[in-house]
Amino acid sequence: MNQQSQVATDIYSRKSSNRWIQLVLGIICMAMIANLQYGWTVFVDPMHDKMGWTKAAIQVAFSVFVLTETWLVPVEGWAMDKFGPRPVVMFGAVMVAAAWVMNSMANSLEMLYFAAVIAGIGAGSVYGTCVGNALKLFPDKRGLAAGLTAAGFGAGAAITIIPISNMVQTSGYQQAFFTFGLLQGAVILVLALFLVRPPIKSLAKGASNKVNPLSKHNYTPKEMLKTPVFWLLYACFVLVAAGGIIAAAQVAPIAKDYGVAKLPMDVFGGVMPLLTLVLVLDNLCNGFTRPLTGWISDKLGRENTMLVVFVGEGVAILGLMQFGHNPIGFLIFAPMIFLCWGEIFSIFPAVSGDTFGMKFAAANNGFLYTAKGTASLLVPLASVLTAYTGNWVAVLWVAALMSIAAGLMARFVICPMRKKMIDVQNVVEEGLQQA
């Protein structure tokens, strides 16, 4: 058993199962907020058809949601560090339910945008708290724990995307917003009652290893923001997140424009539209890749994993551009984008914990997570660029090149800089301990 595993074993020798129960509760809460992002695409066309709003205007609401969700996570992470997970997640549950009820009643874009703010605050409260909890509870399995938690957010929509789609078709998008908004909020609220604050002693320092060097210094958010490594990680996050966010928001319009959205597909003796099948596969891939690549990064190194998967996302986006007009091509490359994109939500929290320590893990990871909000600014621009050029070629080229650039930056720029910073800081920490 290595030193990291021994640390966790010592901490939880009496209550080893408790942290796994807490992890499962967090995963379910994450699954209940997944539709706020990954189920959004099924509402875009129905809102456009019923209300007459342009798709670009509707997608502004998506960007507002993502911006609010991500840019307030540092505050919500601070609240989790200070007050524990229960009150923060309970607050998030109420906001999540209220937001979709408001969406069901929205008769103007202004109301839709305001509901997006409420949804972002609620989702960020749940997301930041559950990921921060996982990082604190599992100093020995950081990549895996963050990946499993993020998997709830990535794959959660796969559970309900079919009934939501069916309700949109049979009862209208407004009824779907209302019903599932109340349902998702209620589940989160109940589960939040069972969340507990991680024991302070669990913030033990792990031992560095060859593939993932760990800092012995617990950086405050203020200290972290002064390091060049943080800003390089932030830029890398923005680049690779943009492609995946564009795909998440635009996969349904792309399928419709390519003429494949309503093609019937045989699935285990049944028939469903190709778009519905792709959305299910997208969310399953998005969730599956998070614990898988988190675990792989624990073994092979954060930046090594980033290189392979980020470049893979770029290749998948180019494949969708080239072969997406064919139903089989769309069925292959759209889920492949999500398979290569979802890992940012396991590896970046893990690399944050490795680099900046565990004491302020929730708040520090919250600052890094705001990169997702920055990336979301490109979603409406993608719709505008598509309208200007008349096709998706330019958008997909840009998204692919950003993902490939992120992989190269992670491996050949961030990796050596991060290792050097950690080595220098650890020498300083050892000197202070000996003094």
DSSP string spanning 3-67? Answer: HHHHHHHHHTSSSTTHHHHHHHHHHHHHHHHTHHHHTTHHHHHHHHHHH---HHHHHHHHHHHHH
Does pTM surpass 0.85? no
Q: What are the pLDDT digits (tens) for 174-186?
A: 999 999 999 999 9
Alpha helices by DSSP H, listed for 84-141, are: 85-105, 109-137
Residue 88 — pLDDT band, cuts 50, 70, 90? very high
Alpha carbons 169 and 355: distance in angstroms, whole number: 48
How much of the chain exceeds pLDDT 70, in percent? 92
pLDDT of amino acid 308: 96
Phi and psi dihedrals of 260, rounded to 5? -115, -5
Q: In this predicted structure, what is the pLDDT of residue 2?
A: 46
pLDDT (0 to 100) of residue 435: 62
Contacts of 221 (CB under 8 A, 6+ apart): 74, 360, 363, 364, 367
How far is 7 from 54, CA to CA, in rounded Å? 55
Q: CATH number for the domain including 416?
A: 1.20.1250.20
Instruction: Residue 122: name the closest of 158, 85, 97, 157 by CA.
Output: 97
The single-letter code of the amino acid at 380 is P
Give the residue among 214, 220, 227, 216 at the shortest CA–CA distance from 426.
216
**31 pLDDT tier (thresholds 50, 70, 90):** very high
- State the residue for tokens 């995963």: 27
Q: Give the chain's domain count.
A: 1
CA dist., res. 229 & res. 214, Å (int): 14
At 13 the pLDDT is 39
Task: State pLDDT tens for residues 327-337.
Answer: 999 999 999 99
In DSSP notation, 343-409 reads THHHHHHHHHHHHH-STTHHHHHHHHHHHHHHHHTHHHHHHHHHHHHSSSHHHHHHHHHHHHHHHHH
* CB burial string 289-324: b at 16+ within 10 A, e below: bbbbbbbbbbeebbbbbbbebbbbbbbbbbbbbeeb
**Angle at alpha carbon of residue 252, lines to 251 and 253, rounded to 5°:** 95
CB 242 within 8 A of CB 344: no
Cα 62–Cα 64–Cα 68 angle in degrees, nearest 5: 120
Of 67-76, 210-219, 225-234, which range is least confident?
Answer: 210-219
pLDDT category at 394 given cuts 50, 70, 90 is confident
DSSP-derived 3-state class of residue 264: strand
Residue 304 confidence (pLDDT) above 90: yes
| pLDDT (tens digit per residue) in 119-161 | 999 999 999 999 988 888 887 788 899 999 988 886 777 778 8
Contact 100, 61 (CB under 8 A): no
Residues 340-346, mean pLDDT to the nearest whole number: 88
**Residue 80: half-sphere exposure toward Cβ, Cα within 13 Å:** 36
Which residue bears the tokens 């600052």? 367
Query: 2-29: per-residue pLDDT in tens?
Result: 444 444 444 443 444 588 999 999 999 9
Lookup: tokens for 283: 């969310």
Residue 397 domain boundaries: 3-434
Tokens of 244: 């995946």
Separation of alpha carbons 318 and 323, rounded Å: 8
Q: Does the pLDDT value for residue 294 go beyond 50?
A: yes
Angle CA 147–352–148, to nearest 5: 10
Question: Virtual CA dihedral for 34, 40, 41, 42, nearest 10 degrees?
Answer: 100
Query: For residue 250, is pLDDT > 50?
Result: yes
Out of 9-23, 86-100, 159-173, 201-215, give the one with best mean pLDDT. Answer: 86-100
Question: End-to-end alpha-carbon separation of the chain, Å?
Answer: 31
**% of residues, the chain, pLDDT over 90:** 50
Task: Identify whether the C-beta of residue 116 lies closer than 8 Å to the C-beta of residue 179.
Answer: no
Distance CA 350, CA 341 (A): 16
pLDDT in tens, 61-85: 988 998 888 888 899 888 988 888 9
| Predicted confidence (pLDDT) at residue 113 exceeds the cutoff of 80 | yes
| 272, β-bridge pairs | 265
Q: Which residues of 85-95 are buried (b: 16+ CB within 10 A; e: fewer)?
A: bbebbbbbbeb
Please report, as a single letter, which amino acid is at residue 345: F
| Sequence-distant (≥ 6) Cβ neighbours of residue 416 within 8 angstroms | none
Average pLDDT of the chain? 87
- Say how far apart CA 267 and CA 84 lie, in whole Å: 44
* Top-confidence residue, 109 or 248: 109
Task: Quickly state the pLDDT bin for 209 (edges 50, 70, 90).
Answer: low
Instruction: Provide Rg for the chain, Cα atoms.
Output: 21
> CA angle at residue 194 from 16 to 364, to 5 degrees?
75
DSSP 139: T
Question: CA 408, 409, 412: angle at the middle one, nearest 5?
Answer: 75
